[in-house]
Chains A and B, each alone.
Chain A
Amino acid sequence: MIRRLSQLALALVLTGCAENAVLEVELTLPAQPATGAPLFAYVQARSADVVSFDEAWAGTDAIDGRALETAVSMLPFSVVAGGASFTRQLGVRIRFCASRDCTGLGDDRAPEVRYRIQRAFYQGHRTRVALVIDAVPAPPPPIGAPITDIDKCDVEGCTTGTTSTYCFMNGHHFCED
C-alpha cells in the first residue's frame, strides 16, 4: 500500500515522464516439424543481473503458447519493464512444448532456445530486437544448452534508418542518457 502511494506521489511529481520501457520483439518461429506431435512455442522473459537458464522459470510471466505452423511464422510480442529492470540482463526462453501452457507430459524436458540480451531497456524508450529460430532444437535440451548472447549495441532504438550498431563509439547505447 505504501509502495503504491509512493508510486502515485512520484507519479504526480513526474507527470509527463514515462517511467517504463518497452522492448518490441519480433520472433520468427520455425515450421512445425514434419514428424511428431504438434508443438507450441511457449515464450517467457525475465530480467536479472545475470540471467540463468539452469532452473525452471516458475512464476515468470509468459505468452500463451502459440502453435507452430506448417511454415515459418511470426510472433511479435512486447516486454514491458520498470525501473529495476533497466540495467539488468534480459533472458528470453522459447520452449517447444506439447501443450499450450507447457505443462503437458514430457514438457519438463521440452527443447528450448535461449537468448540473453546484455541490456534491453532504457527508461522512456522503445527498443526492438529480432530473434530468428530456424528450427526446433532436438530434445531433450542438454544441460548447459547454448545461449545466444545479444549485445546491447544490437538492440535497435533511439535512431532512424539502418545502422550496423546502436551504440556510440564510446560504447554507450543511443538510448542511454
Chain B
Amino acid sequence: MHFGFTDARRSAILSACMFRGPRPSTHALSLALACAIGLASPAPAAAELHAPLGDPSASELAEARARYQAGNAAADAGEFADALEDFVRAFELSGNPAALYNAARTLRSLGRHVDARDAFDQLLTQFPDVSDATRAEARNLREEEASRIATLRLLELPTPSEALVLRIDGTVRLDGGRRPFVLEVDPGRHGVVVTLEHFRPFAWEGEIAPGGAEALTVRLDPEPTASSESILEEPALWIVVGVVVVAGAVIGGYFAWDSAQLRPESQDVIRL
C-alpha cells in the first residue's frame, strides 16, 4: 500500500469534514477531527469516515484515484495535512480501504493518535477482506497508537445541565453525563475550562505525557452575590471614598498644622 500526498486545497477540508451517518460508540473521535486540521480548531463532534452508500460512478472513481495519487505525493513531500484531505476525499468517493489505511497512517504522522487509532479500528472492523499482511500491520499500528493516547479524567464534575459548559482546548465538549468524565486526548499540552452559572470558572492547563493519565478535581466556588459585587465594583463608590479620605486627611492635617503654629500675643498683628 503506497503512501503519498498532493497540493493543498483548503476548501476540500470543509467538504471532507462533512461526514454523516451512524456513529459507533467505540469511535469516540473520528477522522472528522483530523480532517479539520486546517481549521482554527478541530471539530468536537465524533464521526467516522464514510464510504459511499452505493457504487461509485466512473467519474467518482477517477477523481478518487487522482486524489489518492495526490495524497501519496503530498505524504512523500511531508505535507501530511494536505495528504489527509486527499485520502479522506478519496475514501469518501471510492470506499477503498487503501485510502482509509493511508488516512490512518497520515493521522499517525500528524500525531493525532486518537484519530489514528479509530481509523485503524474502522479499517479492521469494516474491511475484513484486506490482506493478512495489511491487517497485521494495521493491528500493530493500532496498538502502537492506542498506547500513546492519554486520558483526562474530570472528578467531581457537576451533573449535566445547560448551565454547565465544558471546554477542552477551547472547544466545547458534549457531556454525556457519565461520571467521572473521561476523555481520550493526544499527548501534549491541553487546557480545560469548566463554567457553571453563578460559579467561578474552573481552569486547568498542563502537559500530558504519551499514555499518561491526568485526573483533575473540578472545584467550582460560588460567585459573590450580585448585590455586594455591584457595590464594591462601582467606581463611583471608590471615588467618593477616596475623596472623603483625602479631604479628611487634608482637613485634619490642616488643623493639626494650624494648631502647631505660633499665635501672636497682641491683637495688633502685622503679617509679612
Residues of A at the B interface (CB closer than 8 Å) are 8, 11-12, 14-22, 24, 43-47, 61-64, 75-82, 85, 90, 124-126
Contact = CB atoms under 8 A, between A and B. Distances in A.
Given A77-B269, A78-B269, A79-B272, A11 B264 contact: no
Interface string B82-126: 000000000000000000000000000000000000000000000
B248 to A, nearest CB: 11
A47 B271 CA distance: 10
Nearest to B268: A77
B272 to A, nearest CB: 5
Contacts of A78: 264-266, 268-270
B261 A45 contact: no
Contacts, number: 82
Chain B binding surface SS class: mixed
Contact of B272 (A24, A43, A45): A45
Given A78-B266, A79-B271, 8 more contacts: A15-B253, A21-B262, A63-B268, A78-B264, A80-B262, A80-B269, A80-B271, A82-B272
Interface string B132-165: 0000000000000000000000000000000000
Most chain B beta-carbon neighbours within 10 Å: one of A21, A62, A77: A77
B236 interface: no
B260 interface: yes
Contacts of B249: 12
Given A45-B272, A77-B269, A79-B270, A19 B254 contact: no
What 10 A-B pairs come out closest when comparing CB atoms?
Answer: A78-B264, A11-B257, A12-B253, A77-B268, A15-B256, A78-B266, A22-B262, A63-B268, A45-B270, A81-B272
A1 B272 CA distance: 20
Contacts of A85: 272
Interface of B: 249-250, 253-254, 256-257, 260-266, 268-272
Contact of A80 (B250, B253, B257, B264): B264
Nearest to A19: B261
Given A8-B254, A14-B257, A124 B262 contact: yes
Contacts of A125: 262
Contact of A16 (B254, B260, B264, B271): B260
Nearest to A90: B272
A43 B262 CA distance: 22
B272 A75 contact: no
Nearest to A11: B257
